[in-house]
Structure 1
Amino acid sequence: MFDNLSNRLTSSLDRIRGRAKLTEDNIQEVLREVRMALLEADVALPVVKDFISAVKERAIGTEVSKSLSPGQVFLKIVKQELESVMGQANDGLNLRVARPAVILLAGLQGAGKTTSAAKLAKYLKEREKKSVSVVSADVYRPAAIKQLETLAGEVGVDFIPSDLSQKPIDIVNNAIDYAKKGHKDVLIVDTAGRLSIDEDMMAEIKALHAAVNPIETLFVVDAMTGQDAANTAKAFGDVLPLTGVILTKTDGDARGGAALSVRHITGKPIKFLGVGEKIDALEPFHPDRLASRILGMGDMLSLIEEAEQKIDKEKAEKLAGKLKKGKGFDLEDFKEQLQQMKSMGGMSSMLDKLPGVGGQLGNIQDKVNDKMFVQMEALINSMTPAERHNPDVINGSRKKRISTGAGLQIQDLNRLLKQHKQMQKMMKKMTAKGGMKKMMRGLGGMMPGGGMPGGGNFPKF
């Protein structure tokens, strides 16, 4: 998300970042480029106008002229105004009500409401430690009820059955009674979508909202529709008292216009981002972190949180214990590390959150991609247990068998073995005195031009 905008903004702002003095002329030149970058990202025109006006007013004022490093202050102003457009800080769910807290999801057909209902249920269950029930009030799409039932089973939350013959209001009222008796903390209601906004649809969901009185009414909208997402959200907001927005399919949106337009046009906060097809691909929306990523400053907080949630701590502790005992880092351990990286969204997702990398991601995409890790894992799977635990026994004939079994070339296997040797060295540094500093220096080699830790290049599968 924001790849195109990030590249345009960072290249424009880089020219002004180191300036000792800022004038109205050079500020105007950069702002003109920033304006074009935002419009190309499909940010709504009123949002662009207000953003540029706010940055210009602050940049030409005393805030910059009295600074010892005006270029840096200008960049800070741009970041702060980006945060302001998107909502300043994370706006979480309000669940401080008598159980169950009812969350109503609304939106157009195809926006991803049913999937978002399951993702939100998983998030609340695992991150907020809530007991959750879900129900479908979509009596127009027969597959919707079954889809939600399947997803509820997948994430391990309570599914409340409903029937096409029932009225949506009856379905939800019955579900509330069921959730109360079961002492559930939260009830998530998936509603019917339509192909377009129409009066019947609005009247139905308005009546449902009035009858149910949910604590949260979230509008689910597809980020790939750009500024239309903000306009559709406003149309719903004029009828329903929305409390927030879930922006879906952001992983497929290279422009980011929706995220920068929704808050300004609707006045409602984006609460969550759908960042992929997997059932755990839902993130709380943090405007400050996203502004940092747009400007190529990275998002280490999100990366750390993701690592804490998704890395298997038991396996990590087991590996640490093994290394402390002086036992080697074998290919089975290497394979586990590849799987951990995949669970965190893959290398591209991780690099996007590292400072100084986000804006250059396109430049290194050919060198590091998730396909590379799939192929490395295939090579390891093609080995015998003895070969994985002791790679030194892999001779010419074994190499031919392993690479053929994985459907790859011998040179691909040679690169893998070289990478493993480099990882072994880095793991030894981690267990030595001052190991963390040495490891971080090694990780510096992952930056563009540096190759992988130990000085080797990225394997080109």
Structure 2
Amino acid sequence: MFENLTERLQGTVKRLRGQARITEDNIQETLREVRMALLEADVALPVVREFISRVKERALGQEVLSSLTPGQALIKIVNDELISVMGQANESLQLNVQPPAVILMAGLQGSGKTTTTAKLARLLKERHKKNVAVVSCDVYRPAAIKQLETLAGEIDVEFIPSSGGEDPVAIASRALDQARKKFFDVLIVDTAGRLHVDADMMAEIQRLHTAVSPVETLFVVDSMTGQDAANTAKAFNDALPLTGVVLTKADGDARGGAALSVRQITGKPIKFLGMGEKTGALEPFHPERVASRILGMGDVLSLVEEATRQVDQDKAAKLAKKLKTGKGFNLEDLREQLGQMQKMGGMASLMDKLPGMGQVPEAAKKQVNDKELGRMIAIINSMTPGERRHPDLIKGSRKRRIAAGSGTQVQDVNRLLKQHLQMSKAMKQFSKGGMGKLMRAMKGKLPGGGLPF
């Protein structure tokens, strides 16, 4: 997300290097570039105009601090204004009401409402320890009811049954009654979508809203629709008292304009970003962290939070202890580390949050991908326990067997063994000289060529 905008903004800032201060002359061309970058990112025109006006007002004539260059000063101003446009801080769900707290999901067909309902249920269950129930009021699309039932089973939350012949309001009322009797903390109501905003759709969801009195009414919108996302959100906000927005498919949108437009056009906060198809791929929206990503400075806080949630701390401690005692880093250890990376959203998600990744060539980024992680794990899974613990055993005939068992080529097995050997040597530095030496030794040794430490 935001790749195009990040690239353009970084190029713009580079042009200011060497200037002693920001002036009318050197800021004019820079602001023109920033304006073009925002428009290409599909940010709504009124938002762009106001953004540029505020940046210019703050930047003109500003004395640059002795430790800063004009480029850095402009980055600070742009960063502050990006945060201002998207909202000053994350606005969490307001669930401090008498249970069950009802969350109503609204949006157009195809925006990802049903999947987002399941993602939100999982997030509330795992991170907030809530007892969650879900119900589908989409009587026009029986597949939607079945889809939610399947997803609810996967994440182990209560699914309240419904059928195509029922009235949506009757379904919602019955679900609320059941949620009260069974003492659920949260009830998430998935509603029907249409291909476009129409009077019937709005009337139905208004009736639903009246029937269940939700504490949160979330508008789910596909971020890849760009400016249309903000305009559709405004149409819904005019008909419903929305409390927030969920931007889905944000991982597939290189432009990211919707994230910059929705807040200002609707006046409603973006509460979550959908960053993939899996039920765990929902992130709370933090404006300051997203601004940092846009400007190529990464999002280390989110990375640390993800690691804290997903990494098995006991296994990590055992590996560290093992390395300190001088024992080897074998292929079972490597498989465990690759699995942890997958749990954290894969390489694409990790790279998106690392500082400086905007300056890494696109070709290099493509080498480090989740398919490569999956291939490496498949190769290790095709080995015997003895081979995983003692990689030196793996010679010609064993390599051919492992390649055949994992659906790969012998050269893929050779590449994995070479990468493991390099990583194993690097890991030895951990016991000899700590993290600094480890990082230097690891440079270029990670899957696909490595990341820039």
TM-score by length of 2: 0.94
In 2, the alpha carbon distance for the partners of 1:361 and 1:341 equals 22
Alignment check: 8 A CA contact 1:136 1:145 kept: yes
The one-letter amino acid of 1:267's match is G
Q: 1:384 to 1:46 in 2, by over 3 A?
A: same
Deviation at 1:363, TM superposition (A): 4.2
The one-letter amino acid of 1:58's match is R
In 2, the alpha carbon distance for the partners of 1:60 and 1:299 equals 29
Q: How does 1:363-374 map to 2 (within 5 A)?
A: 363-374=363-374
* Residue matched to 2:291: 291
Alignment check: 8 A CA contact 1:403 1:413 kept: yes
Q: What SS does structure 2 have at the residue aligned with 1:221?
A: strand
In 2, the alpha carbon distance for the partners of 1:404 and 1:211 equals 59
Q: 1:330 to 1:198 in 2, by over 3 A?
A: same
Q: What SS does structure 1 have at the residue aligned with 2:15?
A: helix
Alignment check: 8 A CA contact 2:91 2:271 kept: yes
In 2, the alpha carbon distance for the partners of 1:264 and 1:361 equals 33
Structure 1, unpaired ranges of 5+: 446-450
TM-score by length of 1: 0.93
Q: What SS does structure 2 have at the residue aligned with 1:388?
A: helix
Is 2:148 aligned against 1:148?
A: yes
How many aligned positions are there?
Answer: 451
Alignment check: 8 A CA contact 2:387 2:394 kept: yes
Alignment check: 8 A CA contact 2:246 2:272 kept: yes
* Residue matched to 1:350: 350
In 1, the alpha carbon distance for the partners of 2:297 and 2:185 equals 38
Identity of aligned residues (%): 67
Q: Which moved more, 1:22-31 or 1:259-268?
A: 22-31
Is 2:36 aligned against 1:36?
A: yes
Deviation at 1:430, TM superposition (A): 2.5
The one-letter amino acid of 2:163's match is D
Q: Which moved more, 1:143-152 or 1:31-40?
A: 143-152
* Residue matched to 1:448: none
In 2, the alpha carbon distance for the partners of 1:89 and 1:363 equals 34
In 1, the alpha carbon distance for the partners of 2:21 and 2:439 equals 35
* Residue matched to 1:309: 309
Q: How does 1:187-266 map to 2 (within 5 A)?
A: 187-266=187-266
Q: How does 1:39-438 map to 2 (within 5 A)?
A: 39-62=39-62, 64=64, 69-360=69-360, 362-432=362-432, 434-438=433-437
In 2, the alpha carbon distance for the partners of 1:200 and 1:275 equals 31
Q: What SS does structure 1 have at the residue aligned with 2:247?
A: strand
Structure 2, unpaired ranges of 5+: none
Alignment check: 8 A CA contact 1:216 1:242 kept: yes
In 2, the alpha carbon distance for the partners of 1:453 and 1:110 equals 38
Alignment check: 8 A CA contact 1:17 1:75 kept: no
In 2, the alpha carbon distance for the partners of 1:373 and 1:440 equals 20
Q: How does 1:6-45 map to 2 (within 5 A)?
A: 6-17=6-17, 19-45=19-45
Q: Which moved more, 1:335-344 or 1:40-49?
A: 335-344
Deviation at 1:17, TM superposition (A): 4.9
Q: 1:137 to 1:423 in 2, by over 3 A?
A: same
Q: Deviations over 1:175-222 (max 9, x none)?
A: 112111111111111111111111111111112212221110000000
Q: 1:314 to 1:68 in 2, by over 3 A?
A: closer
Q: Which residue of 438, 441, 445 corresponds with 1:452?
A: 445
Q: 1:313 to 1:184 in 2, by over 3 A?
A: same
Deviation at 1:276, TM superposition (A): 0.2
Q: What SS does structure 1 have at the residue aligned with 2:239?
A: coil
Alignment check: 8 A CA contact 1:7 1:360 kept: no
Alignment check: 8 A CA contact 1:245 1:268 kept: yes
How well do the aligned residues superpose, as a CA RMSD in angstroms?
2.1
Alignment check: 8 A CA contact 2:423 2:445 kept: no
Q: Which moved more, 1:61-70 or 1:297-306?
A: 61-70
The one-letter amino acid of 1:397's match is S
